[in-house]
Amino acid sequence: MDNRPIDVETLKDYLAETLPPEAMARVEKALRDSSELRAQLEDVRQNRGDAGLHSLGAIWKRSRLTCATRQELGSFLLEALDPDHADYLKFHIEVIACPFCQANLADLQHKAERAAPAAKTRQKRIYDSSRGLLSGEG
């Protein structure tokens, strides 16, 4: 059980709904039990503006909620996603550097590379034979 005191950052994340479900439940319970904490939440709600919500951490947490599936990452590798979706994933993986999706993508890339050599060999053979034809002409 997580017994850390609920701080302002946690309350902000609670309001932004970026906490994992267990943490959301923990804050909710604490709010029920403490009128002091409810007052604090009200303060945070009124003062938060949007400052804290645009920190990289907050963006990461928000984006983490919309991690790509393996299928989406596979399509991304094959450049088969629609451009907006691909842009979003590129941002998610390269700018936000989501470790979860990076790991998934690296794994898929590894599998794709293992499957690729056969195709490359085939391509090379075609290339070599056409080169042979060209040099035969000269």
Check if the beta carbon of residue 44 is closer than 8 Å to that of residue 12.
Answer: yes
The span from the CA of 63 to the CA of 122, in Å, is 40
Q: How far is the CB of 92 from Zn ion (least distance, A)?
A: 5
Whose Cβ is closer to Zn ion: residue 100's or residue 127's? 100
| String marking each residue 72-111 x if it binds Zn ion according to CB under 5 A | --------------------------x-xx----------
Q: Which of 67, 77, 86, 108 binds Zn ion (CB under 5 A)?
A: 67
Q: How far is the CB of 101 from Zn ion (least distance, A)?
A: 3
DSSP string, 7-64: -HHHHHHHHTT-S-HHHHHHHHHHHHH-HHHHHHHHHHHHH-TTGGGGSHHHHHHHHH
Whose Cβ is closer to Zn ion: residue 18's or residue 41's? 18
Question: Which residue sits closest to Zn ion, CB atoms considered?
Answer: 98
| String marking each residue 10-49 x if it binds Zn ion according to CB under 5 A | ----------------------------------------
- Number of residues engaging Zn ion in binding (CB under 5 A): 4
Question: 105 Cβ partners below 8 Å, 6+ apart?
Answer: 73, 76, 77, 93
Between the CA of residue 104 and those of 51, 70, 99, what are the distances in Å?
31, 7, 8
List contacts with Zn ion (CB under 5 A): 67, 98, 100-101
